[in-house]
Structure 1
Amino acid sequence: MKLSVLDQSPLLPGMTPHDALQQTTELAKWTDELGFHRYWVSEHHSTESLAGSAPEILVSHLAAHTNNIRIGSGGVLLPHYSSYKVAEAFRVLETLHPGRIDLGVGRAPGGMPNVNLALNKGKLPTIEDYPAQVEELMAYLHGQDPYGQEVYATPRGETAPRVWMLGSSGTSARLAADLGTSYSFAHFINGRGGTRAMDRYKRYFSPSMQQGEPQGNISVFVVCAETNEEAEYLASSLDLALLRIEQGGRHTHFPSSDEAIHHPYTMAELDRVQENRNRIIVGTPDEVKTSIEQLAEEYNIEEVMLNTIVSPFEKRLKSYELIAEAFKLTPSLQK
Structure 2
Amino acid sequence: MKLSVLDQSPILAGTDPKEALKQTTELAKWTDRLGFHRFWVSEHHSTGSLAGSAPEILATHLAAHTNQIRIGTGGVLLPHYSSYKIAEAFRILETLHPNRIDLGVGRAPGGMPNVNLALNSGQLPSIENYPAQVEELMAYLHGQDPHGMDIHATPKGDTAPPIWMLGSSGTSARLAADLGVSYSFAHFINGRGGIRAMERYQDYFTSSMQQSTPAGNVSVFVVCADTDEHAEYLASSLDMALLQIEQGYQRSHFPTPEEALSHSYTIFEEERIQDNRNRMIVGCAEKVKEEIEQLAEMYHVEEVIINTIITPFEERMKSYELIADAFALSTHSTTMT
The answer to whether the superposition gives a TM-score over 0.5 is: yes
Q: Hey, what's the Cα distance between the residues in 2 that align with 1:214 and 1:283?
A: 31
SS of the aligned residue for 1:224 comes to strand
SS of the aligned residue for 1:253 comes to coil
Could you tell me which amino acid in structure 1 is paired with residue 216 of structure 2? G
1:4 Cα deviation after fit: 0.1
Q: Which residue of 1 aligns with 2:218?
A: 218
Q: Which residue of 1 aligns with 2:203?
A: 203
Is 1:66 matched with 2:59? no
Q: Hey, what's the Cα distance between the residues in 1 that align with 2:150 and 2:330?
A: 45
Per-residue CA deviation, residues 70-101 of structure 1 (Å, 9 max, x unaligned), is 00000000000000000000000000000000
1:250 Cα deviation after fit: 1.4
Number of aligned residue pairs: give it: 332
Is 1:20 matched with 2:13? no
Q: Which residue of 2 aligns with 1:52?
A: 52
Q: Which residue of 1 aligns with 2:335?
A: none
**1:36, 1:331 within 8 Å by CA — same for their partners in 2?**
no
**1:13, 1:255 within 8 Å by CA — same for their partners in 2?**
yes
Per-residue CA deviation, residues 118-159 of structure 1 (Å, 9 max, x unaligned), is 000000000000000000000000000001111100000000
SS of the aligned residue for 1:75 comes to strand
**1:32, 1:331 within 8 Å by CA — same for their partners in 2?**
no
Q: Hey, what's the Cα distance between the residues in 1 that align with 2:263 and 2:3?
A: 33
Q: Hey, what's the Cα distance between the residues in 2 that align with 1:185 and 1:228?
A: 27
Q: Hey, what's the Cα distance between the residues in 2 that align with 1:249 and 1:12?
A: 16
Is 1:248 matched with 2:248? yes
SS of the aligned residue for 2:72 comes to strand
TM-score of the superposed pair, with normalisation by structure 1: 0.99
**1:37, 1:69 within 8 Å by CA — same for their partners in 2?**
yes
- Give the 5 Å matches for 1:1-335: 1-330=1-330
Could you tell me which amino acid in structure 2 is paired with residue 162 of structure 1? P
Could you tell me which amino acid in structure 1 is paired with residue 203 of structure 2? R
Q: Hey, what's the Cα distance between the residues in 1 that align with 2:291 and 2:149?
A: 51
Q: Hey, what's the Cα distance between the residues in 2 that align with 1:127 and 1:175?
A: 13
1:331 Cα deviation after fit: 6.3
1:327 Cα deviation after fit: 0.2
Q: Hey, what's the Cα distance between the residues in 1 that align with 2:202 and 2:113?
A: 32
Change (3 A) 1:6 1:331: farther
Q: Hey, what's the Cα distance between the residues in 2 that align with 1:48 and 1:205?
A: 38
Q: Hey, what's the Cα distance between the residues in 1 that align with 2:331 and 2:98?
A: 18
TM-score of the superposed pair, with normalisation by structure 2: 0.98
Could you tell me which amino acid in structure 1 is paired with residue 162 of structure 2? R
SS of the aligned residue for 1:281 comes to strand
Could you tell me which amino acid in structure 2 is paired with residue 249 of structure 1? Y
SS of the aligned residue for 1:30 comes to helix
Per-residue CA deviation, residues 302-325 of structure 1 (Å, 9 max, x unaligned), is 000000000000000000000000
Q: Hey, what's the Cα distance between the residues in 2 that align with 1:331 and 1:195?
A: 33
SS of the aligned residue for 1:329 comes to coil
1:249 Cα deviation after fit: 2.7
**1:33, 1:331 within 8 Å by CA — same for their partners in 2?**
no
Gaps of 5+ in 2: 333-337
After TM superposition, the runs of 4+ consecutive aligned structure 1 residues lying more than 6 A away are: none
Could you tell me which amino acid in structure 2 is paired with residue 121 of structure 1? S
1:330 Cα deviation after fit: 1.2
Q: Hey, what's the Cα distance between the residues in 2 that align with 1:218 and 1:84?
A: 28
Q: Hey, what's the Cα distance between the residues in 1 that align with 2:250 and 2:241?
A: 11
Q: Hey, what's the Cα distance between the residues in 1 that align with 2:128 and 2:257?
A: 42
Could you tell me which amino acid in structure 2 is paired with residue 32 of structure 1? D
Q: Hey, what's the Cα distance between the residues in 2 that align with 1:295 and 1:214?
A: 18
